[in-house]
Structure 1
Amino acid sequence: MKTLTLAAAALLTSTTLACAADGKPIYKDCGPNNDYVIGFSQANFKEPYREHVNHELERLVKQYPKFKLTIADGQASVNTQVSQVENFVTKQVDLLMISPFESAPLTPAVTNVIKKGIPVIELDRKTVGDDFTAFVGGDNRQIAKEAGQYAANTLLPDGGEVAILEGLPSSSPAIERLEGFKDGLADNAKLKLVAVQPVDWQEDKAVTVFGAMLQAHPDIKLVYTSNDLAAAGAYIAAKQAEKADQVKIIGTDGLPGPSGGIRSVADGQWAATFTYPTGAAEALDLAKKILIDCATSVPRNVMVPSQRIDQTNAKALYDKEQF
């Protein structure tokens, strides 16, 4: 199995720490004898990746009998998530987890939680500024850069036209993945980026957008997508245009299961996908340190390693997960 050589991921955590004032515990009501309520505002329940995150959290939280986890569906709505955060505060949760649907609009709500002395772990996506206790996720920029380099050096060494299907432009992962992939493509001057358009993480929108791209640029040889749903949509569009054998597809998420990215690579529909880790185990470990162990400091950023899934390992990984 090939693992990305991510500098930040190799360390797993940054050296920057979130510290409480005067060496006091981050959460004043901490301790091993208490029970704790954790509220998680998930960006939405529609995306398969987010369902995967929820499943992992629900599975792993069973290892922490002192924790009660409540997961709320943000419904891809800033207003919904703001209301959820406010409701969690009203219900006096001991710790908030959040994957913000959009970064800037949710920043004030998260800042208010921090001001009330409630620790905040941001999962996968960040708000703006430093008003959070810890962030857990993959290095979006570096993962996408590795994807760009893979396209430049392995998939299209002789050059060709390339397209990008971006995620939701107002979300931090979409921005970082777009910039990172462009950086990786720079390894090969013979590659030409001919089209970039957001599809907001949606499969149906990816079908429409990439279909139009192929009409405007019939010689596209590779498309990079910001998530596996968009990759699935790109494959449908390529097939409809009778160009499935021409276009190499790179996804991002590397989801398990019969409809996930791992199988799509194993079946030869896509050239590759790059796993985006859920961070569930790391987030719950941080919660334990803060709530039960009375930590006075925790890492500000916890970066979780990714893995490239391609024709060399996809079938073995997919077969393994069936048992």
Structure 2
Amino acid sequence: MSKFHLALASTPVDRRVLMKGAAAAGAMSLAMRVPGVAGAQEPLRIAFSVPGLNFPFFVHMVSLAEQHAADIGGIEFITLDGQEGGQPSSTKQTADLEAMVAQGIDGLVISPNDAAALAPAIQSVIDAGIPVVTVDRNVAADVLTLAHVGADNVEGGRVQGRYLIEILPDGGEIFELQGQPGASAAIDRNAGLTEVLDEQDAVEVIVSQPAAFARAEAVRVVEASLASNPEPDAIVCANDDMAFGAAEVALANGLDIPVIGFDALPEALIAIGEGRMAATIEQFPGQQATQAMDILLAFIDDGTEPEEHDLYLSPALITADNLGEAERAAEAGIEADAMEGATPEATPAG
């Protein structure tokens, strides 16, 4: 089955207005169509599982999904926090799914901590007759979920690579901080970055290490890497939390180099505006969450399946020149750009 991108139209659009409009339209439509949503006595029980609410990215995603459910009405929204001891845990996330099957739910949206490790548990949910939509991170390909909604993480990695080549016209040596081993987002972002950089030889990755999507681990990895490679020309990271740690170490060592993140968190937007980071990648987590919820609820309603299994939002490069285009610009105290255009539409993946 081919993958489709939910590509934003070339004419800009105010994404905050777009999301509110889409949420309102979705709420009205689903409230009229979904059994138990608009007036039935028994609410739908929808679980939303993420690797860990210690990640600001997932806090934002869950918050918007819960608000979307509240706007629709008639939904008992169950948040499942996959962290244990302050760290994402596939064991904890698996146990949460087992508990949901035992207690009974009508549907599941999940961002799997590890694509392979969560495969058996997600398959067990499906075997119990419960529809599953993955969001942001995917599960192993042999697990037949209803749908996957996410950013095109491979393309996001490519965007990072192209930006590095642009800002280092004379070439350079860079550090790459990968995410959590086994996470589909980490695998795909690395693949996209590697693809672009392998096509040229001016910009070279001299350190490529996982840092678990975590700020503290990024500090440790960068400090250790500087011991043998004291003057990198840039640091590219698979999420913003790692970029914050990398930027902290760069500053402490007197390195005035570009640091690139991924997620467009409000803190990253502020850091870019202040010159502590060069760029980040926007992947529109709010739109991912609401799209995933709508697909799940439509299936619960009348068995409607999405035309394509994989729906991807095209990622966008955010720099000091376009901070207002970020989904969370307002949270960073940045006035959103006045943008015109239409809602995202599905176009075939390249």
Instruction: Determine if the TM-score, normalized by the shorter chain, exceeds 0.5.
Output: yes
The equivalent of 1:266 in structure 2 is 273
Give the partner amino acid of 1:98. Answer: I
The one of 85, 93, 97 equivalent to 2:97 is 85
| Contact kept? 2:34, 2:297, Cα under 8 Å | no
CA distance in 1 between partners of 2:296 and 2:307 (Å): 10
CA distance in 2 between partners of 1:230 and 1:195 (Å): 15
The one of 220, 234, 238 equivalent to 2:246 is 234
| Contact kept? 1:36, 1:291, Cα under 8 Å | no
* CA 1:119–1:315: 2 relative to 1, 3 Å: closer
CA distance in 2 between partners of 1:214 and 1:143 (Å): 26
Cα distance, 1:162 vs structure 2: 1.0
Could you list the per-position Cα deviations for residues 281-322 of structure 1 after superposition, in whole angstroms to 9, with x for gaps in the alignment?
A: 111211221123441555311112322111211267576443
The equivalent of 2:309 in structure 1 is 300
| Contact kept? 1:162, 1:191, Cα under 8 Å | yes
Give the partner amino acid of 1:61. Answer: A
The one of 262, 278, 284 equivalent to 1:252 is 262
Unaligned runs of at least 5 residues, structure 1: 1-5, 13-29
| Contact kept? 1:164, 1:225, Cα under 8 Å | yes
* CA 1:114–1:11: 2 relative to 1, 3 Å: farther
The equivalent of 1:25 in structure 2 is none
The one of 10, 13, 20 equivalent to 2:7 is 10
Could you list the per-position Cα deviations for residues 97-128 of structure 1 after superposition, in whole angstroms to 9, with x for gaps in the alignment?
A: 11111111111111111122110011111121
Cα distance, 1:9 vs structure 2: 3.7
Residue 29 (structure 2) pairs with residue 32 (structure 1): no
The equivalent of 2:215 in structure 1 is 203
CA distance in 2 between partners of 1:156 and 1:179 (Å): 20
| Contact kept? 2:269, 2:329, Cα under 8 Å | no
CA distance in 1 between partners of 2:34 and 2:321 (Å): 47
The equivalent of 2:344 in structure 1 is none
CA distance in 2 between partners of 1:88 and 1:70 (Å): 9
Residue 301 (structure 2) pairs with residue 285 (structure 1): no
Return the TM-score normalized by structure 1: 0.85
Give the partner amino acid of 1:140. Answer: N
The equivalent of 2:71 in structure 1 is 63
The one of 113, 119, 134 equivalent to 2:125 is 113
SS at match of 1:252: coil
* CA 1:40–1:223: 2 relative to 1, 3 Å: same
Cα distance, 1:78 vs structure 2: 1.4
CA distance in 1 between partners of 2:284 and 2:61 (Å): 9
Unaligned runs of at least 5 residues, structure 2: 10-32, 336-350
CA distance in 1 between partners of 2:313 and 2:144 (Å): 21
Range 196-205 or range 109-118, more displaced: 109-118
| Contact kept? 2:44, 2:74, Cα under 8 Å | yes
* CA 1:196–1:94: 2 relative to 1, 3 Å: same
CA distance in 2 between partners of 1:208 and 1:275 (Å): 26
Return the TM-score normalized by structure 2: 0.79
CA distance in 2 between partners of 1:316 and 1:137 (Å): 19
The percent of aligned pairs where both chains have the same amino acid is: 29
Could you list the per-position Cα deviations for residues 162-207 of structure 1 after superposition, in whole angstroms to 9, with x for gaps in the alignment?
A: 1100111111111111111111223442112111111101101111
Give the partner amino acid of 1:225. Answer: C
SS at match of 1:105: coil
